[in-house]
């Protein structure tokens, strides 16, 4: 057997591929479900926090800043392990899927809140004043004038962050989530 034959047998073995393809496809579906849940819940929670922060209620802003800084500074793997192994001490036993979803959604929430907040604060003060001079309330100004402009500015950094967090779904293998990387690793070790 030549070097090329060995290489092809190890990396392009059709029998092994056919045997483990259904498992890898199942892992792909789990990864997609997890990624969609993380992105939707993380971005929505981040937007809500940014809008609440825009209300300028000082004690609430301090709490939001603390939570956001905490989840931005902790590694996602640490958060996954804390939720998966720590919550059972409080009689809450989330599955590996739920632990991964909550952890990565909290991390994305923290980053997206900062992104949305930066978008909101980047809108010129004149936009706020012009909207208020037409009789719009603070909330109407925020929702109808400022937020649409801010959302346009937040698309590139949010896209970058969602791609990065989607790649982080592989961290779920630590708590037995059978996503695509876990299924592929299992197939490699079994074959």
- The pLDDT tens digits for 57-82 are 999 999 999 999 999 999 999 999 99
30-56 average pLDDT score: 95
Percentage of the chain beyond pLDDT 70 is 94
Q: How confident is the model at residue 153 (pLDDT cuts 50, 70, 90)?
A: very high
Sign of CA dihedral 54, 60, 61, 66: negative
Q: Which domains does the chain have, with CATH numbers?
A: 30-123+155-190 (1.10.3720.10)
Q: Can you tell me the distance from the alpha carbon of 42 to that of 40, in angstroms, rounded to the nearest whole number?
A: 6
Q: pTM, whole model, 2 decimals?
A: 0.86
pLDDT score, position 31: 87
Rounded to an integer, what is the distance from CA 73 to the centroid of its chain?
A: 15
Residue 190 has pLDDT above 90, yes or no: no
What are the strands, taking DSSP E only, across the chain?
A: none
Q: How far is CA 57 from the centre of its chain?
A: 27
Question: Whole-angstrom Cα distance, residue 116 to residue 170?
Answer: 26
**Of the listed ranges 12-21, 132-141, 156-165, the one predicted with least confidence:** 12-21
The answer to whether 83 and 44 have CB atoms below 8 angstroms apart is no
């Amino acid at each position: 057997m030549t070097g090329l034959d060995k290489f092809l047998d190890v990396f392009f073995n059709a029998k092994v591929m056919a045997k483990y393809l259904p498992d890898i496809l199942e892992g792909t579906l789990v990864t997609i479900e997890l990624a969609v849940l993380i992105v939707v819940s993380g971005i929505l929670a981040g937007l809500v926090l940014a809008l609440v922060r825009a209300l300028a209620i000082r004690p609430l802003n301090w709490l939001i800043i603390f939570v956001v800084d905490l989840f931005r500074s902790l590694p996602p793997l640490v958060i996954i392990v804390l939720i998966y192994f720590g919550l059972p001490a409080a009689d809450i036993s989330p599955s590996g899927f739920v632990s991964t979803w909550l952890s990565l959604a909290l991390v994305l929430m923290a980053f997206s809140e900062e992104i949305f907040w930066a978008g909101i604060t980047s809108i010129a003060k004149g936009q706020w004043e012009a909207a208020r001079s037409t009789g719009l309330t603070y909330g109407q100004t925020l929702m109808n004038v400022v937020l649409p402009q801010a959302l346009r500015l937040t698309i590139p950094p949010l896209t970058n962050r969602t791609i990065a967090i989607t790649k982080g779904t592989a961290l779920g293998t630590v708590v037995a989530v059978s996503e695509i990387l876990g299924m592929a690793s299992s197939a490699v070790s079994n074959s």
